[in-house]
Structure 1
Amino acid sequence: MAGDIDNNLVVLNALDTARTQWYHVTAVIIAGMGFFTDAYDLFCITTVSKLLGRLYYYDPTTHAPGKLPHLANNCVSGVALVGTLSGQLVFGWLGDKLGRKKVYGLTLILMVICALSSGLSFGYDGKVVIGTLCFFRFWLGFGIGGDYPLSATIMSEYANKATRGAFIAAVFAMQGVGIIFAGLVSMIISKLFLMKYGGTPFDVDEILSTEPEADYVWRIVLMLGALPALLTYYWRMKMPETGRYTAIIEGNAKQAAINMGKVLDIEIQEEGDKLAQFKAANEYPLLSNEFFQRHGLHLIGTMSTWFLLDIAFYSQNLTQKDIFPAMGLTRKASTISALREMFETSRAMFVIALFGTFPGYWFTVFFIEKIGRFRIQLMGFFMMSVFMAIIGIKYDYLRTEDHKWTFATLYGLTFFFANFGPNSTTFVLPAELFPTRVRSTCHALSAASGKAGAMISAFGIQQYTQDGNVKKIKKAMILLAVTNMVGFCCTFLVTETKGRSLEEISGEDGRQNETQMKTSKPVSGHHDDGWE
């Protein structure tokens, strides 16, 4: 601790050693509600995409259920990911240039407007409606993208070093709650509309033309995504700028002390003399030899692992509506009405999220400060690879009626270890490894790499398995298993961060030699940090 006080600013040490207080919890809730909204908006499209096909591509001459064409389906599912990638890069850069708080509210405003507009998508025929929907979902994704680097950076800079990882992971864990609500809300809305005005269910044999109310259902589901963002906006604007940004980037230690004194019960002394020296030692830009010598391998590690993780993670999420019938959780579209199909798809998504996805997030929250980020990420990648390989190799066996629950269990375990693994830790690590001056930008680069992987999933793997061909699904699952093992190997490019201050990790406190050693030898760095 003496070394920290000698090398670091008093305001930063005060934040690192502050006891956990109510405002820490408040910050988790405020930032987490953004991620709740993000997840709801991104994943609710899974529950309504088949309904869109039956509404706008229904052929009354054949009476066969309508289906979105491959290209339209990929665009509806994947265009928000393109917007998210773009928003991550733009807002991540702005977060470092203008301040975290100044741009934090813009992301919510954009999400509110575009969630409402998505539900109001208009057009004279189905193609125009789908095109309008894709336009608004791109900009919805753009706002969602900004939440990734800003929420992670703000939470990391508010938290103390003893619980920082748990708090950042808790913010991200709200994504699991958002996925659950995406399934739950879709299930409730579709069930309500399944009932006629007297409460009598629709005859499941009726064709789509007898369900004109279905056009309201998907619009309501999408528009409800604006509500949590709208409710969070006021509290997000009340948050002060982080003490680290105010002190290190703006060079105003006095204002940093005032800001943090308002929300945390700590005494912070002004330290103007030492601040200039501290700033001068950390003014190197992102595109510089010094940055790449200090943090180059870390950035490659965070970008590559998030990229590889999202190829697998989004391949599961975006194609789960096609795997559900194999599990016996939904029936064939030709035997049920459009709203009944949406209800069953939503119910299946809710069950998988509740028992597979959701627990994994909170296991990470509870164990990240005990096990560490590095080990959790290695374990998650490895277990995902094992379960996906089993599904791929034994797919014919598992999809039979007698083994449907074994299939469901294996499928759910891949989500559990994604979230009690790299889906959480790839979000946490970029918020801790890099200097304050470029922290938001580096997190944005890492997150954008992840969305690039998600786009490969949406426009590549989903396209490949769109027809439900068993051989193609088996090959895709085995490919995803290999992808996860590559992610396992790339994890060795990052280092453990638990128990250390952000300035010690990044070398901002002057410990350049130690930082470079841990960059080049990450495994030995873990043991030096008190793992054993």
Structure 2
Amino acid sequence: MAEGTQAIFSSLDNARTQLYHFKAIVIAGMGFFTDAYDLFCITTVTKLIGRLYYYDPTVAGGPKPGTLPKNISNAITGVALVGTLAGQLFFGWLGDRLGRKKVYGITLVTMVGCALASGLSFGSSAKSVIGSLCFFRFWLGFGIGGDYPLSAVIMSEYANKRTRGAFIAAVFAMQGMGILFAGVISLIFSGIFLHVYNAPAFNRNHVLSAQPQGDYLWRIVLMFGAVPAALTYYWRMKMPETARYTALVEGNQKKAAVDMAKVLDTDLTVATSAYPVPVSPEASTYGLFSKEFVQKHGLHLLGTTSTWFLLDIAFYTINLAQKDIYPATGIVRKAAAMDAIEEVFRISKAMFLVALFATVPGYWFTVFLIDRIGRFIIQLGGFLLMSICMAILGARYDSLRGKKCDPKKDPLHEYCDGNHAWFMILYGLTLFFANFGPNSTTFIVPAELFPARLRSTCHGISAAAGKAGAIVGAFGVQYYTQKGDKQIKQSIITLAVVNFLGFLCSFMVPETNGLSLEELSGEDKEIAAVTNGIATNGKHEHEDSQMV
């Protein structure tokens, strides 16, 4: 029995790279494409929502462009993160109980339905519209959360040993494509609205509030996230359960061999018993809260959770703050100098360019190099270089950003006389080394370290720790930065320290490059123990029959 299991894993680990591997990357990666699009497209339309629903021409000091109250802005961006955290824990656990495939479709349907519902948020008042938007974005995040452990684990269990890191990284790299696509879709539709309605750029009414067409714009942008996910639903449902889950958790090697033979061009014919039995006696007693788990993997889980938590404090803070960073650096005009749809257009354009030249390349550097130089070096280097870039950005913040412009001399921009080019270079490098660094490796390593029966759960716990960090960034750090320039500077320096702590915590996470999943989790020893037990029992039975 155990020999059959070893044969299946050996075939998977040594299988040549083939078409189905790339097909699996697209199927699993499209979920992450959708995840990133849905989480970050809100950045491009948040200010538009403020202009639509919170414009008050009677405010003291004369009418100003409508802006979301700080607590409302934080709620819209943060509620999806709360839902994601809950989904990572729930679906991570469910993926180990019911199997990867059975849960995979549920997460996709949840994402598609809630992306559409977010764009259809209803209400007769600002409060009711925002309330329904937050409700649907929570459940959207819940579905997104499930995709983290399931996509990572499915890809790791399908992949061969030689290119496993690149395959998982390629799935995660679709997150960068989702961020890029969020900028593209917002750019396209805001450009169409500008062209069709040809709104005068300095019509006072349009500048301060928003054109009625703006209400269609933000809804279209949010709903478009359902499209790529829906296109992959059929192929997700056609994917077989992973052989490692079927063999190690369900104990059915025969079915595992048959399933993999359908999709991989390799000989997986093995001698198997006709009925499923557990591979190891430990499978029923070696649980997440057991002493054995703490001894074997406790430090690993602490390492994957702490590094992901620290990373996401910085990563989500700087990503969700893009709508505020671009006006500050002069890339986007100040709000009072353009109408609402033009503001979406310019923010989307800036977001697209930063994603194209900084964010996306970072992901793909990881894909091409992770199996050559290893996870550990990439994570250490990424954390350290992020910390250095943010330390420089914080220390030189005042001179890089510049001072408030005189409205009479420059009515278009918020800040003047700064070195905005260097500001954006340092900001872009921070994003590059986040993605060619811990943002990728913290996703990859938890899908490799833990036993198959706990792999999805442990990845979900690690990912949920990351989202807890993202919530700290969205609700805590961002709220603090809204108080003024001094607080922004302090926050950037603090984030540099946070990244350095991530560098130190990375020493708790071992290198996983070049080893099979069973070697990393210790399941190879369990299988060997069963093999030896079967051999010993067989010998004793033979001796007993001779005695009789």
TM-score by length of 2: 0.90
Q: Give the match for residue 532 of structure 2.
A: none
Contact 1:114 1:139 in 2 (8 A): yes
In structure 2, what is the Cα distance between the partners aligned to 1:387 and 1:110?
Answer: 38
Q: Give 1:172 shift.
A: 0.2
Whether the 8 Å contact between 2:95 and 2:456 is mirrored in structure 1 is yes
Measure, in 2, the Cα distance between the counterparts of 1:36 and 1:368: 21
Separation of aligned partners in 2, 1:244 and 1:202: 61
Q: Which structure 2 segments of 5+ residues have no match?
A: 403-416, 529-548
Q: Structure 1 residues 6 and 259 mapped into 2: Cα distance closer, same or farther (>3 Å)? A: closer
* Counterpart check, 1:142 vs 2:142: yes
Q: 1:308 aligned to 303, 307, 310, which one? A: 310
Residue 410 of structure 1 corresponds to which residue in structure 2? 426
Structure-to-structure mapping, 1:56-95, within 5 angstroms: 56-61=53-58, 62-95=62-95
Aligned to 2:7: 10
Aligned to 2:501: 486
Establish whether residue 249 from structure 1 lines up as the match of residue 241 from structure 2: no
**Aligned residue type for 1:100:** R
Pair 1:508–1:86, CA change in 2 (3 A): same
Contact 1:169 / 1:424 at 8 angstroms: preserved in 2? yes
Amino acid at match of 1:294: K
Q: Secondary structure at the match of 1:162?
A: coil
Deviation by residue 1:203-255 (Cα, 9 ceiling, x = unmatched): 33332356110100000000001101110100110100000011111111110
Q: CA deviation at 1:258?
A: 0.4
- Name the Cα RMSD after superposition: 1.7
Instruction: Quote the Cα distance in structure 2 between the aligned partners of 1:113 and 1:241.
Output: 24
**Alpha-carbon offset, residue 186 of structure 1:** 0.5
1:511 Cα deviation from its structure 2 partner? 7.5
| 2:181 counterpart residue number | 181
Mapping of residues 123-522 of structure 1, within 5 Å: 123-197=123-197, 200-208=198-206, 211-272=211-272, 278-283=279-284, 284-400=286-402, 401-467=417-483, 469-510=484-525
Tell me the distance in 1 between the aligned counterparts of 2:418 and 2:103.
53
Distance 1:152 1:271 in 2: 30
Tell me how far apart the structure 2 counterparts of residues 183 and 112 of structure 1 sit (CA, whole Å).
19
Taking the aligned partners of 1:20 and 1:190, their CA distance within structure 2 comes to 42
The answer to whether the 8 A contact 2:248-2:278 is kept is no
Q: Which whole-Å CA distance do the structure 2 matches of 1:342 and 1:261 have between them?
A: 49
Instruction: Give the residue type in structure 2 aligned to 1:9.
Output: Q
CA distance in 1, matches of 2:336, 2:527: 64
Amino acid at match of 1:47: T
CA distance in 1: counterparts of 2:346 and 2:19, whole angstroms: 40
For 1:494 and 1:87, locate their aligned partners in 2 and report how far apart those are by CA, in whole Å.
Answer: 24
**Paired residue for 2:412?**
none
Matched residue, 1:528: none
Asked whether the 8 Å contact 1:9–1:271 carries over to 2, the reply is no
- Say if 2:15 and 2:160, in contact at 8 Å, map to a contact too: yes
Query: Could you tell which deviates more after superposition, 317-326 or 375-384?
Result: 317-326
Q: Contact conserved, 1:8 with 1:509, CA < 8 A, in 2?
A: no
- The amino acid that maps onto 1:438 is L
1:474-501 deviation digits (Å, cap 9, x = unpaired) = 1000100000010001000010111110
Contact 1:376-1:420 within 8 A present in 2 as well:
yes
> By how many angstroms is 1:446 displaced?
0.1
Counterpart AA for 2:293: F
Distance 1:392 1:81 in 2: 26
Q: Which amino acid aligns with 1:374?
A: F
- CA shift for structure 1 position 129: 0.5
Post-superposition offset of 1:187: 1.0
Contact 2:482 2:488 in 1 (8 A): no
* Distance change in 2, residues 1:327/1:218 (3 Å): same
Check whether the contact 2:21–2:158 (CA below 8 A) recurs between aligned residues. Answer: yes
Q: Tell me which residue corresponds to 1:27.
A: 24
Deviation track 1:133-173 (CA, whole Å, cap 9, x = no partner) reads 00000000000000000000000000000000000000000
Distance 1:19 1:280 in 2: 32
1:160-212, Cα deviation, whole Å (9 max, x unpaired): 00000000000000000000010111111111111245xx4533333235611
In 2, distance between residues paired with 1:95 and 1:19? 27
Aligned equivalents of 1:214, 1:447: Cα separation in 2: 35
Select the structure of larger CA radius of gyration: 2
Query: 2:122, 2:278 → 1: CA distance?
Result: 58
2:406 aligns to what? none
Decide whether the 8 Å contact of 1:84 with 1:451 is kept in 2: yes
For residues 123 and 235 of structure 2, what CA distance do their matches in structure 1 show? Answer: 37
Aligned residues: 506
Does the 8 Å contact 1:8/1:503 carry over to 2? no
Is the deviation greater in 317-326 or in 330-339? 317-326
Letter in 2 for 1:60: P
Per-residue deviation, residues 408-440 of structure 1 (Å, max 9, x unmatched): 000000000000000000000000000000000
* Secondary structure of the corresponding residue to residue 436 of structure 1: coil
Q: Which residue of 2 aligns with 1:47?
A: 44
| Pairwise CA distance, 1:8 | 6.2
CA distance in 1, matches of 2:295, 2:279: 19
* Aligned 8 A contact 1:324 1:348 in 2: yes
The answer for the alignment partner of 1:525 in structure 2 is none
Give the superposition deviation at 1:466: 1.7
TM normalised by structure 1 equals 0.93
Q: Secondary structure at the match of 1:510?
A: helix
State how far apart, in whole Å, the 1-side matches of 2:5 and 2:282 are. 12
